[in-house]
Amino acid sequence: MIPIVPVDARPLARPSGGSASQEHRTRLVALPPLTLYIHFPWCVKKCPYCDFNSHERRGGPSTIPEGAYVDALVSDLDRVVPQVWGRRVHAVFIGGGTPSLISPAAIDRLLSEVRARLVLEADAEVTLEANPGTVEAGRFADYRALGINRLSLGIQSFDDRFLAALGRIHDGREARDAVEIALAHFDNVNLDLMYGLPGQSAVDAGRDVAIARAWAPPHLSLYQLTLEPNTLFAKYPPRLPDEDVADAIDVAIADEVERGGWRRYEVSAYARAGRESRHNVNYWNFGDYLGIGAGAHAKISFPDRIVRQTRLRSPDLYLDRAASDGAAYDEHEVGLDALPFEFMLNAMRLVAGVPATRFSERTGLSLARIEGPLARAEARGLLVRDALRIRPSPLGLRFLNDLQEQFLATTPPPTTGR
């Protein structure tokens, strides 16, 4: 459980060292773009590698209190809307968990309540995550009719051997069927695939991407399996491919991606032109996002400060707090020392990096404040920059943690779901 504590209203402490001009944060002239993340915390089964805030619902979808949960989401949103009053929302992302367990009727009500409280851009991207084991053709058609215009499918693999090793509830045939159904109703579809799986070879990994390539989806996400703390795989680690096999897998995947015509725009994301995930791109550009739902995170900028919010992780506690009309989140102001790391943690995930002016635009700090870390990263070959742009080098993308650590602050920021 994440405790609810009072907001720290004390003035920001100045970091030790440096001149007064370096320590000063100016008022933001323009607030960054705003998106909305909605977290649905339940799954049919908890995967052994998953460290997201997802909770197994053993009784199945019929036991999920979706009506009460939508009530809680609306109550949560009502509390934070005054903080972003008048700002337009460019994208909505419904993640989890398994949001495709939600009935179309609940999605309809949820989106109606969102539109009644926030100003969505006319062409706002509205994404729903779905798992093949919960796919129903009729339900997908309903989602599309209700305004969901982007679908993200958690395929992970098309091979039954690796799906079993990952503890997934679907098989390869269901994965293929899900892609067919998705593309029949949506022209903007993302497929999630994982690689570096127990017993996987370079041929196996390349075959998964080749199968996806045959459908030519607009977006592809490729994630290497990592053993995250507090997961079943961390407690009982499977045997993963060794370094030589892992390198061969990287080559095989790169070859298939090139054949597919996707452009890599983020460390794990590939897209055709104009199909990049708007919500995620905003996140990596240190934009603002509301986050509602159990375990969701939010970042909200004001002219004179930036705050982060963290929702209660437990669905039951989140529901209880919302039902009692209490705040279901903790809020804190981001200190000056943490801002450089928070910005670069996200920006350096982008293959093209960010404009050099964006650091000051989004943090209110002078770029001179991070000149030392920039120079060190550049000297190590992890970063490339000129007067107009800062971006990771190919080496920096490969060793992203090393690059991000150059800007490390004493208090790392939380992460969002997706």
DSSP calls for 319-361: HHHHHTT---EEEEEPPTTTHHHHHHHHHTTBTT-EETTHHHH
Q: Residue 24: which pLDDT band, with cuts at 50, 70 and 90? A: low
Residue type, 5: V
pLDDT at 58: 74
Distance CA 66, CA 266 (A): 34
Measuring CA to CA, which residue among 109, 141, 111 is closest to residue 126? 111
Identify which has the larger pLDDT, 27 or 218.
218
Q: How far is CA 218 from the centre of its chain?
A: 18
Give the CATH fold of the 336-413 domain: Arc Repressor Mutant, subunit A (1.10.10)
What does pTM read for this prediction?
0.90
Distance CA 356, CA 358 (A): 6
Helix (H) or strand (E) holding 250: helix 243-260
pLDDT at 348: 97
- Residues in contact with 372: Cβ distance below 8 Å, sequence separation at least 6, in sequence order: none
Percent of the chain with pLDDT over 70: 91
The reply to whether domains 34-281 and 336-413 share a CATH topology is no
**Average pLDDT value for the chain:** 90
pLDDT at 379: 97
pLDDT at residue 385 greater than cutoff 60: yes
Measuring CA to CA, which residue among 112, 179, 190 is closest to residue 140? 179
Please state the domain extents for the chain. Answer: 34-281, 336-413
- Average pLDDT on 143-165 reads 97
Q: Residue 323: which pLDDT band, with cuts at 50, 70 and 90? A: confident
pLDDT at residue 243 greater than cutoff 80: yes
Distance CA 198, CA 218 (A): 28
Q: Residue 326: which pLDDT band, with cuts at 50, 70 and 90? A: confident
Distance CA 50, CA 77 (A): 27
Look up residue 190 and give its DSSP letter.
Answer: E
pLDDT at 137: 66
**β-bridge mates for residue 300, sequence order:** 307
Q: What is the pLDDT of residues 78-130, one digit of tens each?
A: 999 999 999 999 999 999 999 999 999 999 999 999 999 999 999 999 999 99
Distance CA 261, CA 270 (A): 9
Distance CA 167, CA 344 (A): 34
Identify which has the larger pLDDT, 391 or 414.
391
Structure tokens at 36: 């909305």
Look up residue 264 and give its DSSP letter.
Answer: E
Look up residue 10 and give its DSSP letter.
Answer: S
pLDDT at 74: 96
Identify which has the larger pLDDT, 335 or 413.
335
pLDDT at 55: 92
Distance CA 348, CA 370 (A): 14
Identify which has the larger pLDDT, 185 or 60.
185
Q: Residue 325: which pLDDT band, with cuts at 50, 70 and 90? A: confident
- Average pLDDT on 408-414 reads 51
Give the CATH fold of the 34-281 domain: TIM Barrel (3.20.20)
Q: How far is CA 375 from the centre of its chain?
A: 29
